[in-house]
Structure 1
Amino acid sequence: MTLKFTRLHGGTIALSLFSLLLLACSYVPFPKLTTEASEPAVEWSKHGGGDAEQRFSPLQEITPENISDLGLAWSFDLGVSRGIESTPLVIDGIIYVTATWNIVSALDARTGTMLWQFDPKVDRSKAADACCDAVNRGVAYADGKVITGTIDGRLLALDAKTGAKLWDVVTVDQSKPYTITGAPRIVKGKVFIGNGGAEYGVRGYMSAYDINNGKMLWRFYTVPGKPADGFENAAMAKAAETWTGEWWKFGGGGTVWDSMAYDPELDLLYIGVGNGSPWNQSIRSPDGGDNLYLSSIVALRPDTGEYVWHYQTTPGDSWDYTATQHMILADLEIDGKARKVIMQAPKNGFFYVIDRATGKLLSAENYVPVNWATHIDLATGRPVENPDARYGSQAPHTQMPGPFGGHNWHPMAFSPDTGLVYIPAIETPFVYAKDEDFKYTEGRWNTGADMTKTSLPSDEADFKAIKALLKGRLIAWDPKKQQRAWQVEHDSPWNGGVLATAGGLVFQGNAGAKLVAYRADNGEPLWDFFAQTGIVAPPISYELDGEQYIAVASGWGGTFALLYGGVLPQEEATPGVSRGVGRLMVFKLGAKAELPALRNLVVNKPTPPKSEADAATIASGKQLYDVNCAVCHGDHAISSGLVPDLRWTPYLSSDQALGLVAHEGISSAKGMPSFSNVLNKNDLNTIRAYIVSRAHESFEGKESTRQ
């Protein structure tokens, strides 16, 4: 089979895939943004470095000429290694960082000495409502308060000096599968927070809270509710005209689970809106429609939540093409005219430059191979779709990007000095096919896509061929020319966020457990540091006592790591030793500290229980496993190590033992809830038969290159 993909700059390339895939893709200076939001303090007091979210540091002590002298100043053990995605903040010599389960640590930014630590004691069973690991992306700071969101949907304010809790409010209906994984933002004394849970069947919204007491000030829903109940505002009434059927019964989705930006001159708050619930539009909105405001950038008034404008990147999204990815504000000269723009590289594979005052599209080109659409029509602002991509009534469609996106949550960065945007890009093919037996179940994955088609192949040759198609890149993108300036290849698609500095450097961590510094103008790698575990979090930079520091949190995780991290392990992982725990690592010139030695990794692989199931039962068990278990415990029942490997769990010893976990929920405090409302006893026994068969294959060495 031959698939056609849009090539960067408009042409086409041909890519031959194995048939099994059908079942399973010059320096230009720019003016700096003139608002104060673009001038991040040397402390790094805001999530993206400033309200414009450029992730650019004006510090320039560390340069290509002296980067070889950069060394580890200190590290702090976060105590976990599961999906560390936090952006640290540095204020008044204190660095604030979060880890799994929303634990906040305040450290001396010079030495790493812990000053205080706060555990919000979250309901860990809510981790099962987080599509993409029990992660969070950091805190916000203002007026002596540290603000954090929690996986169980709360928003808390802490005293920045002592860690004492000042207020604690619930922002969601906790009886529904809402979560918070994104970092709050603060503007004009208001704390803004969204939520996640679209895959599980919720209705998304953005809320504003008073920083002084936690009182909710306003709420903007991103998708309409049941029309018979009335609409909250004119924006919701308008949105309802673009939906059909009874979408509200599925929640609708549209969660605001990550990025925001703010322009103080225009007084506009920009929010990124996520995918629909379910993914498959033919189920949630059977007669089509744009389904506003899914997969959109929406501009709001921060004081009132009033809708101002929107731009929808993927009308009628059916592929989990969220527009929640990092947004950057900048002032660019386009066609000889100075324009205030907002830039985004959302999941759908196109890079957008939009007038941030009006929402008018200025340009859009694909930054990764794309085959769901041929291009973006600049006259209408809409994609020109490939009809085969609408899998509601079509044959399965092997597509790029897949739901991991061309770019996911990992923040990109913009350098006003080079005029380039640095994108942590992803290339992963995916087979979209309608789930013909779909039954909506609140609190469980409701994609409406047949997830059994996405498992990697068992045949070794086909596996290697498909693995070669999974790519990760650091792309330096010229937003004015809408073309790539340079790129760096990675061994894994799932790598870290990015920092650009005025010293002419770009920093990024990767799945190979290294933090790397590149020349900002041409991508030449200049320096790296082995972190003992993969890095997905973005670095920051700050200055104290005239010295520039680089800080980054390590700890590989997130949805790709959980699903494919065992099948496609980190390239730099050392066999026989642990990949280390999550840490905050801080670097400066001339420092020579070292990380603790790697520990020996002992994996107990007991003799599996006797396998008595027939081939049909095992095949049925694989289908149930792929739909209900693989997203956390790994494709082919091979765990990444972030959660237990079910092939070797003692609970595999009998149907009754496995039922204690999966039905009675004895491990809910560890993040494993009961599945009794989804899987009956026979389902569970069938899944166990598949896992037992996989344990025998692994124990008997029938897998030549995989664990």
Structure 2
Amino acid sequence: MKPVQSALLSLMALALTACGAEKTTQDMTVATVDAARILAADQEPQNWLSHGRTYDEQRYSPLDQITDKNVGDLGLAWHYDFDTHRGLEATPIVVDGVMYVTGSWSRVYALDAVTGDLLWEYDPEVPGEWAVNACCDVVNRGVAVWQGKVYFGTLDGRLIALDATTGKPVWDVLTIDRKYPYSITGAPRIVKGKVIIGNGGAEFGVRGYVGAYDALTGERVWRFYTVPGNPADGFESPAMAEAAKTWTGEWWKLGGGGTVWDSLAYDAELDLLYVGTGNGSPWNQALRSPDGGDNLFLSSIIAVRPDTGEYVWHYQTTPGEMWDYTATQHMVLVDVEIDGRMRKTLMQAPKNGFFYVLDRETGELISGKNYVAINWASHIDTKTGRPVEDPRARYYQNPWLAFPNPLGGHNWHPMSYNPEERIMYIPAQEVPFLYAPDKDFKAIRPGINLGIDMAAASMPDDKEAKDQIMSMIKGHISAWDPVAQKELWRVQHPGPWNGGLLNTKGKLLFQGNAAGYFVAYDARNGAKLWSFPAQTGIVASPVTYSVDGEQYVAILAGWGGVFPLLAGEAALKSGKVSNNSRILTFKLGGRDSLPDWKYVEPELPAPPPMTNDPRQVSAGNALYHRFCSSCHGDKAVSGGVLPDLRYSTALQNEVWFDITEDGILKENGMVSFKDQLSGAQLEDIRQYVIERAHYLKKISGKTDSLSQ
């Protein structure tokens, strides 16, 4: 560390002696967070000041009142029930006894961190119909706090600042052009008085970017595009001019992708902001860049200057990306000894299955090894930094059964780094997927534009084939040695899509899982020490904090996200759960309890008669998997969040068209499709769903009530 910076941090620590001491609930200030407090976060471990607790995003807490020795005494201190029933993915921010958190539909809540009492709530009133522009549920991953304000992004593309005391809006700015189907689900970071936020929408044909906004006024300070636009319009920066050389065709007409929908990290000493970018749009590279090319800056880690957005360096994890192998996954900054010298590293386990260790000053690849089983590439060439691909994996003409699938070996669920054991804990998963080109692709807006045949990737009905595929679908915690690039041990889960991770000085590793349990493990060996039945699947990440000398652990519980919406039967691999949206907060000796509840299988009504027209069902199958499966599941099987269409009484009559054509449920997110689909096509989809309802009746043995 440079002498001046070292002295500055020392002064910060001294200045924080008073404000860093634990405040009682009677003597709390309101979100007085600034750079000094975040940089010196270890001086006040009782708070969780930023998304990853610190700018380095390690998600490690120095708190040690709750340990491997006494965690068995952990009990529920309080819970808070949300009035929504969609996915919960937020990391709570806790400042001086107040918890700030987002729920579904971008709503924001402030709660007393000791009692769970609601202090205020803010609803940005996101239009329900905007949900059609969100690939992966109406989720939000959290807020940022800064100098008495709470900042968050909304599903419909706004960035809002609230007064932390009252929850009243201070400013509200639109960060997108609403002609295009952008969305925001990620948590902002605040660096040097600037609110940093990206967006999603690559599946819908948008051009990615990340922006910085003045924390006081909301005025945009800079914007960095991640893929080039139309060359005829000129390029916004030299970086975009260089990136354009790696594209072919007329990619800008299809958006290009590269959205910055999740991970960010900041190194104050180097003054570098690290940005992770997403997949191409469409997925199939042959459609967006027909003569190939690396397609910068898709699936890349980019370092920029936080004051200006100036490009410094990049590393592309998946050149010419065409599998939805994003690099938006959690980035962790670690100073670690490698080959006898200390290195400032950036570590990431992106979707493509390789664990990367980069020099975070230069972007140089230090090492890269696969952390899950993969088949699209054999290894990383350490001289070029590029993956050595199996050419068959590029499914230009022929299908390819790939590991990982579009969910990735690791998705957005945050990793956690243990600086004492030098272990990275990865919420990993292994799921296959059949990539097949869409021979009849035509770009649609609004609508999902992948360029692959989703129906071809559906779960087979044949029991033997289905059982074989289901046996391949797995999830686990991988305890990864990032220096030796090897797995030390793992905790096996029944299925994928388990929650993010937290580890503490108390030698504990916490994770919620898809089976509906919140679990504490021994951080040294993965031994299970404690668990709590959450009555719903958990995908979010826990935090820990302390008030009045008492340590708490909190987690948002609420099943959701893209996997339960899209994956159909595969989403049930860990067991059948539904969404019960809550905050669960624990302490030693906690005596709160949840109301009695258990999952009850709904009764399947007799479906309407089938037309027995194979052509109609086949057409409906293709249309369903292009327009409907992203929310209602593969083969019309619900993963436990949205209604299962096979059970819907709307199949029986004209209500089907009231919903799909007239949009009577648009406020719930179910929009009209009359601009994309004809009445005959909507009937084809209805007949396909009816066929699936009959099939369910058949395999469940309840054929007596079938209507033939």
Which residue number in structure 2 is paired with residue 493 of structure 1? 496
Which residue number in structure 2 is paired with residue 15 of structure 1? none
Map 1:397-476; keep pairs closer than 5 Å: 397-476=400-479
**How has the CA–CA distance of structure 1 residues 40 and 231 changed in structure 2, closer, same or farther, with 3 Å as cutoff?**
farther
Which residue number in structure 1 is paired with residue 514 of structure 2? 511
Which residue number in structure 1 is paired with residue 657 of structure 2? 659
The AA in structure 2 aligned to 1:105 is: Y
Structure 2: distance between partners of 1:600 and 1:233? 54
How far off is 1:594 after superposition?
0.8
How far off is 1:175 after superposition?
2.0
Which residue number in structure 1 is paired with residue 167 of structure 2? 163
Q: Please say if 1:348 is aligned against 2:352.
A: yes
Moved more, 694-703 or 193-202: 694-703
Q: Which among 296, 300, 313 is matched to residue 296 of structure 1?
A: 300
Structure 2: distance between partners of 1:436 and 1:456? 20
**How has the CA–CA distance of structure 1 residues 592 and 702 changed in structure 2, closer, same or farther, with 3 Å as cutoff?**
closer
How far off is 1:510 after superposition?
0.4
Q: Percentage identity across aligned positions?
A: 56
Structure 2: distance between partners of 1:488 and 1:203? 38
Q: Please say if 1:548 is aligned against 2:551.
A: yes
Which residue number in structure 1 is paired with residue 390 of structure 2? 386
Are the aligned partners of 1:534 and 1:570 in contact in 2 as well (CA < 8 Å)? no
Structure 2: distance between partners of 1:533 and 1:689? 32
**How has the CA–CA distance of structure 1 residues 382 and 545 changed in structure 2, closer, same or farther, with 3 Å as cutoff?**
same
Are the aligned partners of 1:35 and 1:265 in contact in 2 as well (CA < 8 Å)? no
Query: Which structure has the highest helix share of the two?
Result: 2
Structure 1: distance between partners of 2:574 and 2:87? 17
RMSD: 1.6
How far off is 1:35 after superposition?
6.5
Which residue number in structure 2 is paired with residue 336 of structure 1? 340
Which residue number in structure 2 is paired with residue 687 of structure 1? 685
SS of match in other structure, 2:469: helix
Q: Name the TM-score, length of structure 1 as normaliser.
A: 0.92
Moved more, 325-334 or 437-446: 437-446
**How has the CA–CA distance of structure 1 residues 697 and 519 changed in structure 2, closer, same or farther, with 3 Å as cutoff?**
same
Q: Please say if 1:626 is aligned against 2:630.
A: no
Are the aligned partners of 2:137 and 2:561 in contact in 1 as well (CA < 8 Å)? yes
Structure 2: distance between partners of 1:361 and 1:40? 34
How far off is 1:676 after superposition?
1.9
Provide, for residues 30-84 of structure 1, a one-character-per-residue CA deviation record: whole Å limited to 9, x for no partner: xxxx974777732101001111000111101111111101111000001223111
Which residue number in structure 2 is paired with residue 247 of structure 1? 251
Structure 2: distance between partners of 1:247 and 1:385? 23
Structure 2: distance between partners of 1:369 and 1:601? 36
The AA in structure 1 aligned to 2:544 is: S
Structure 1: distance between partners of 2:541 and 2:548? 24
SS of match in other structure, 2:572: coil
SS of match in other structure, 1:371: coil
Are the aligned partners of 1:142 and 1:186 in contact in 2 as well (CA < 8 Å)? yes
Map 1:303-342; keep pairs closer than 5 Å: 303-342=307-346
Structure 2: distance between partners of 1:428 and 1:181? 24
**How has the CA–CA distance of structure 1 residues 37 and 436 changed in structure 2, closer, same or farther, with 3 Å as cutoff?**
farther
5+ residue gaps, structure 2, are 1-37, 703-708
Q: Please say if 1:617 is aligned against 2:616.
A: yes
Q: Please say if 1:698 is aligned against 2:702.
A: no
Map 1:115-126; keep pairs closer than 5 Å: 115-126=119-130
How far off is 1:379 after superposition?
0.5
How far off is 1:698 after superposition?
2.4
Map 1:507-656; keep pairs closer than 5 Å: 507-564=510-567, 566=569, 568-569=571-572, 571=574, 573=576, 579=578, 581-598=580-597, 601=600, 603=602, 605-654=604-653, 656=654
Structure 2: distance between partners of 1:119 and 1:528? 33
Which residue number in structure 1 is paired with residue 32 of structure 2? none
Are the aligned partners of 1:40 and 1:50 in contact in 2 as well (CA < 8 Å)? no
The AA in structure 1 aligned to 2:581 is: G
Are the aligned partners of 2:559 and 2:580 in contact in 1 as well (CA < 8 Å)? no
Provide, for residues 8-40 of structure 1, a one-character-per-residue CA deviation record: whole Å limited to 9, x for no partner: xxxxxxxxxxxxxxxxxxxxxxxxxx9747777
Are the aligned partners of 1:396 and 1:433 in contact in 2 as well (CA < 8 Å)? yes
SS of match in other structure, 1:647: helix
Structure 1: distance between partners of 2:687 and 2:568? 23
How far off is 1:697 after superposition?
2.5
Structure 2: distance between partners of 1:529 and 1:79? 22
The AA in structure 2 aligned to 1:93 is: G
Are the aligned partners of 1:38 and 1:52 in contact in 2 as well (CA < 8 Å)? no
Moved more, 685-694 or 637-646: 637-646
The AA in structure 2 aligned to 1:533 is: T
Structure 2: distance between partners of 1:580 and 1:446? 28
Moved more, 692-701 or 543-552: 692-701
Are the aligned partners of 1:247 and 1:285 in contact in 2 as well (CA < 8 Å)? yes
Structure 2: distance between partners of 1:453 and 1:293? 29
Are the aligned partners of 1:219 and 1:305 in contact in 2 as well (CA < 8 Å)? yes
Structure 2: distance between partners of 1:503 and 1:489? 23
How far off is 1:619 after superposition?
2.3
Q: Please say if 1:360 is aligned against 2:364.
A: yes
Q: Please say if 1:64 is aligned against 2:68.
A: yes
Provide, for residues 111-140 of structure 1, a one-character-per-residue CA deviation record: whole Å limited to 9, x for no partner: 001111111101121111111111110111
Residue-pair matches, total = 665
Structure 2: distance between partners of 1:288 and 1:634? 32
The AA in structure 1 aligned to 2:548 is: D
Structure 2: distance between partners of 1:119 and 1:81? 15
How far off is 1:402 after superposition?
0.9
How far off is 1:392 after superposition?
1.2
Which residue number in structure 2 is paired with residue 113 of structure 1? 117
Q: Which among 177, 198, 205 is matched to residue 194 of structure 1?
A: 198
Pick 1 or 2: higher relative contact order, CA cutoff 8 A, min separation 6. 1
Moved more, 360-369 or 90-99: 90-99
Structure 1: distance between partners of 2:571 and 2:344? 42
Which residue number in structure 2 is paired with residue 10 of structure 1? none
Structure 2: distance between partners of 1:64 and 1:646? 45
Which residue number in structure 1 is paired with residue 214 of structure 2? 210
Structure 1: distance between partners of 2:309 and 2:570? 45
SS of match in other structure, 2:252: helix
Structure 2: distance between partners of 1:611 and 1:565? 22
The AA in structure 2 aligned to 1:217 is: V
The AA in structure 2 aligned to 1:583 is: R
The AA in structure 2 aligned to 1:663 is: E
SS of match in other structure, 2:659: helix
SS of match in other structure, 1:85: coil
Structure 2: distance between partners of 1:184 and 1:568? 29
The AA in structure 2 aligned to 1:610 is: P
Moved more, 162-171 or 663-672: 663-672
Are the aligned partners of 1:37 and 1:52 in contact in 2 as well (CA < 8 Å)? no
**How has the CA–CA distance of structure 1 residues 453 and 37 changed in structure 2, closer, same or farther, with 3 Å as cutoff?**
farther
The AA in structure 1 aligned to 2:176 is: V
SS of match in other structure, 1:468: helix
Are the aligned partners of 1:182 and 1:194 in contact in 2 as well (CA < 8 Å)? yes
How far off is 1:648 after superposition?
2.3
5+ residue gaps, structure 1, are 1-33
The AA in structure 2 aligned to 1:145 is: K
Q: Name the TM-score, length of structure 2 as normaliser.
A: 0.92
Structure 2: distance between partners of 1:702 and 1:617? 25
Structure 2: distance between partners of 1:358 and 1:642? 43
**How has the CA–CA distance of structure 1 residues 377 and 144 changed in structure 2, closer, same or farther, with 3 Å as cutoff?**
same
The AA in structure 2 aligned to 1:665 is: G
Are the aligned partners of 2:96 and 2:547 in contact in 1 as well (CA < 8 Å)? no
Map 1:85-164; keep pairs closer than 5 Å: 85-164=89-168
